[in-house]
Structure formats: structure tokens, C-alpha cells
Amino acid sequence: MKYSIATVCLSGTLAEKMEAAHKAGFHGIEIFEQDLTKFTGTPADVKRMAGDYGLEILALQPFRDMEGMPAPLRQQKYDMLEKKMALAHELGTKRMMMCSNVQPYSSPDLQQCAEDLHAVAQLAKQENIMLGYEALAWGRHIADYDDAWKLVNLVNHDNLGIVLDTFHMFARGNTLDTLINDIPLEKIALVQVADAPKLNMDVLQYSRHFRCFPGQGDLPVVEFLQALKAKGFDDYLSHEIFNDEFRASSPYEKAVDGIRSLKWLEDQAKEKKHTPPEVTDIEFIEFSVADKANNPVVKVLSSLGFETTHVHKSKDVELMKKGNVNIVLNKERNSNAHEFLNKHGESVCAIGLLSKDSTKSMAFAQRYHSDVILEANADTELSIPAAVGAGDTLVYFLDEKSPLKFYEADFEPLSDKHSAEDDNLVRIDHVGQTVSNTEMLSTIFFYKSMFGFETEKSYDLPDTNGLITSRTVTSPNNKVKIALNTTNASQTSSQHFLKQSNGASVNQIAFECRDIFVEAEKVDRDYLLDIPANYYRDLEARFGLEPELLAKLASNNIMYDQDEKGAFFHFYTQEFNGIFFEVVQRVGEYSRYGEENAFIRLSAQSMARNTD
């Protein structure tokens, strides 16, 4: 199939939108009439520009309120469309799109509407143009696509077909029955695919602000494409997305998201789904650091019991370990880590993920248009591929089948270091990433498309200075959990971190342990986040915990939560460069993250920052 995008999806000028669509790999573009109207050149200039970028102008759109108008306005609409068809010729397109009438004075008489559309279809025949008729979800009399099909079928004209837009179809709860059983392939004039989260709200506001690319929402877009393909459809798939986040984002970045979503949609609609290899665990977290001496991150890691156990054979890189947890400190000057350091300061520059097939994982990253990094290494060293994620963070693909751990191949052990044998710290439980409000959907889809991660429901976390929205993506085996946080409020902790780090992403690393009290008692109290005493009084009231347990929790600044499946203990370190660590203990089958305690943690961190 070929891919198209409507100019309304992207920010910028018409020239910038076309350039972004070309660079992202689109084959066609729909010209939104407002973009053309405010363009300072001629329609012929637009045609030349599209040709220079190798883009077919798929359609000119949208034209509204064409059918069922009162007699005085009917001729006016016909005359207007005649002029717009001349415009379409200048653009070099043979398709135009019309939306169902929304005016309160429009006629509900289906026969009158059919006569009106037949007249414009006759005009389209003279002009060699295909008209597409779309049911707007808030149309006055035609709001469902099956009603739009009844009207198009009643008109019965070769130059009038139906526009299938997944948002308008599914926002009102329509099924695919009419598409599957009634609409012939040759009467499909245009296909527009959009997704959206499931929301219960006014459909016009829903449409204007919450549409997103396929795979970023909850609509049955995969089933829709499967139904189309079963009919033999092999024409353009096009985007028409209205979204506040998109309009505030780089046109190129959003165009790449659009291409990625269409490829994902086609992959999912195949009889045998094209799925990425499973990512099974987090193998390491890598920090870019200027120096190890007097480094606050190193100090808190040391307080948590981490020690340097290996040094790289040829680079200025060290490995700190505790139990099965690997933290890499990269000081190498000629490296991606050093570039990251110069831009973002000392922070997490990479995450190493274990894949069941790292080569195939990399192929998925390339297919879904991620920037790919492959650092030059000595012949005897591992060459680990990486994709560029949120905030310039590299995501490395390590092969689970490799006979050696990454540090066994590229690092020399320090034989006098034994703390790594401590088995109380089990693994990295989850990672927190902060992204701007214009990157949330894109980052979620990064993990969904390339790694097959699933998305959990979102939570609102009450920060002292506003709400933070948190949504976790998890690997199919539930071992890799990445909490993605964003906010619109300018003074929250999330925004504080983004400003402080110049847009870095990872600011939270949570370690799972077997006995949290053993871990807490080892940590220097200067590094623990202080939790107010009133929190423990609230715990006593909510859960009726034994006084002895409450006292142990309070003395170690440990927080607590429970549900019907189990219990959750966790404590936090102070922030360093906006980054903090968490140690957790899960009891039973508790699978959440202690969200009920988030407001206390955020408040305590805010107080600590203000004290500093």
C-alpha cells in the first residue's frame, strides 16, 4: 500500500509540511484547504513543490455542507465547487473530499440530498474528478458511515464514492458490518485512518483534540484494515489527525510517527502478524559522567552497596554491580556518552535491553524509522546496536542467546571486589522516564511498535505544583516496566527535571530486593528521602498495621501500599541532578508501583529541592 498524510496533521508552513512528509517517506499528501488558502504562492507552485518532493497530491479537502441546502444556497454551493475543481486541476489532483452537512437548516430529505450530490457528481464527471463523501460524526442528518453509504448508493454515480474515516466510524460506536457486507471496493473513494483513546465526551471536542495515529489509541483500526484488505483494497492509506500535541511538535518528528504507525498497522493486519522479538529484561543502565571522584550519583550508589567490579578493556568505562544489577559509568571522551554529557549533563544516557533476537530487534527499529547507532569498537569487543529513544537516550539490544554477559566480553574483572555476590538486590524493577507533553504519544508508540510493549492505564500523580500524568509500558513477560511521565504544568518536578537536564529522559531507577529493611539500614541517612511523620499516621488508619512494623517503616523512611493481591514496600533516595533511585519489595502478586504514595514522594522531593 501507499501512504499519505493530510497537511492538517502537521505543524508549520505548507512547504515545511511537504518537506517533512517527503523526508519521512510518505508517497502522497492531502492538501487541507486552509493550508492552501494561506499559502503565498500559486496552486501551480504547490504542484511543483509536491513534484520536487516526489509526493502525489492525493486530494483537496474538505468541502462542507454540499447536500440538502435551501434553494438560495444550493446554486451558490454548486458554483463554489466548480471553482474549487478548477483549483484541483491546478494542483494536479483528481480527488476531492466532501463532509456531511452540519447546518441546522439543512434538509433531512434523503432524496433531495441525493439529487444535490448527483448534480455535483455530474460536474465532477465533466471535470474528470472523483468525489468522496464522508459522514462527520457530528453531521446534522448523516453522522454514521452506513447512512453515508445509503446516500452514496442512492446517488449511484461513478464519480461519487464514500470516504472511510476510522475516527468518524468508531467514535459513534459503528461496527464494520456495512463495510464488510455492503460497500464494494470500487465505491471507496478515500481511506483515512485515525485512532483515539476511549473517552466519553462531546464528539466534536473529541475529534478536534484527541485523534492520534493508529496504534496510539484504542479504536479497532487493525480490524478495519483487515476488512479492507479482505476486499482487495490496495490504494492509499491516509492520515487526517487533529491533535493539540501534533500541532505543537516538529513536523518531521510527527511525520515519522505517522509513517511508523501505518507500517505498524499493516504489520498487525497481516494474516500472520509481523511482531518484534520479545524483550525479556533490563541488562544495564548507563550513566554519562565527567568524573567518578565526588560524583553524587556514584556516592548514592555506593551507599546502596554498589561497588566497581569491572573496568573496560579499552575505554574509560567502569561497571558498578550489586547482585544482578549492572550500572555502567561511561567517562569515554570519544563516545556517544560524551556527546550526551555535553548536552544533558551527568545523567542516564542508555538502557541495555535483553532481546531474544537482537538482530531482528534492530531490523524492527530500522523498519519503524528509529535513528540507529552502531559505535565503532575494537575487533575483539562486542558491537551492540542501539536505537535512539526519548531525550536522546540510547536503547541497546543485547542478545539473550549470547554465551557471555556484556561485561564478561569487554571488561576486566577486579578480583578483590565481592559485593556483587550480595543476592538481596534482585533486578531492576522499573525505570521512570520524563517526556515533554508533545512527546508522550510518540514515546509510548516507540516502545509499542519496536518492542511489542503493552500500555497500562494512565494515572494522575498530584505534584505540589500541578498534575503529572503517568502511563507505564511493559514487556509481554512483564519484566521490563517503564513509567512515562509528562505534564502541562510548568513548575512540577517533571518540568524541573526536563529544564535541568536539557530534555534528558530517565530520572528514576527502581531496584527490586528480597528484604527492604536490610537494604534501608545500609543506606547513609543523608541520602534517604525524608517522609513526613503524618504519612505513617495515615498508614496506621488506612491499613491497621502493627505498631512495630509502623515504627520500622518510619525509622527507615519506607513507604507502604497493599491491595487484594499483595503488599508493596519502597523507599527513595534524594535527587542528584534530578535523578533518584528507589528500592522496592513486592510481596505476593502486587503488580503496581505504589501510586497512592506518589503525592507524598513528590511533595518530599519538592521540599528537599527548596531546602537546597
Known binding-site residues for a divalent metal cation equal 134, 165, 192, 240
Helix (H), strand (E) at residue 601: helix 598-611
In the three-class reduction of DSSP (H, G, I as helix; E, B as strand; rest coil), residue 158 is classed as coil
Where do the H-state alpha helices sit in 99-219? 110-127, 145-155, 166-170, 177-181, 203-210
**Pairwise CA distance, residues 12 & 247, whole Å:** 8
In the three-class reduction of DSSP (H, G, I as helix; E, B as strand; rest coil), residue 87 is classed as helix
Q: Give CA 195 to chain center in angstroms.
A: 13
Query: Nearest 5°: CA angle at 154, between 150 and 158?
Result: 110
**Pairwise CA distance, residues 78 & 477, whole Å:** 59
Where do the H-state alpha helices sit in 501-597? 516-522, 533-543, 547-555
Helix (H), strand (E) at residue 238: strand 236-239
User: Which residues have a Cβ under 8 Å from the Cβ of 134 and sit 6 or more positions away?
Assistant: 62, 97, 98, 99, 100, 148, 162, 163, 165, 168, 190
CA atoms within 13 A on the CB side of 130: 15
Please give the C-alpha separations between residue 44 and each of 14, 548, 593, in angstroms, as whole numbers. 14, 80, 57
Do the strands 130-134 and 160-165 form a parallel or antiparallel pair, or are they unpaired? parallel
User: Which residues have a Cβ under 8 Å from the Cβ of 404 and sit 6 or more positions away?
Assistant: none
User: Which residues have a Cβ under 8 Å from the Cβ of 334 and sit 6 or more positions away?
Assistant: none
Which residue type occupies 426?
V
Q: What is the largest CA-CA distance in the chain?
A: 93
User: Which residues have a Cβ under 8 Å from the Cβ of 428 and sit 6 or more positions away?
Assistant: 282, 285, 325, 509, 510, 511, 512
Which residue type occupies 106?
S
484 grid coordinates = 512515562
Q: Give CA 576 to chain center in angstroms.
A: 27
**Pairwise CA distance, residues 191 & 165, whole Å:** 6
Please give the C-alpha separations between residue 223 and each of 179, 219, 264, 275, 450, in angstroms, as whole numbers. 11, 9, 13, 16, 20
Q: What share of the chain is helix, strand, coil (3-state, %, to 5)?
A: 40, 25, 35
**Pairwise CA distance, residues 342 & 521, whole Å:** 36
Query: Nearest 5°: CA angle at 286, between 281 and 290?
Result: 175
CA atoms within 13 A on the CB side of 532: 14
Burial letters for 493-522: b for 16+ Cβ neighbours within 10 Å, e otherwise? Answer: bbbbbbebbebbbbbbbbbbbeebbebbee
The DSSP output letter for 575 is P
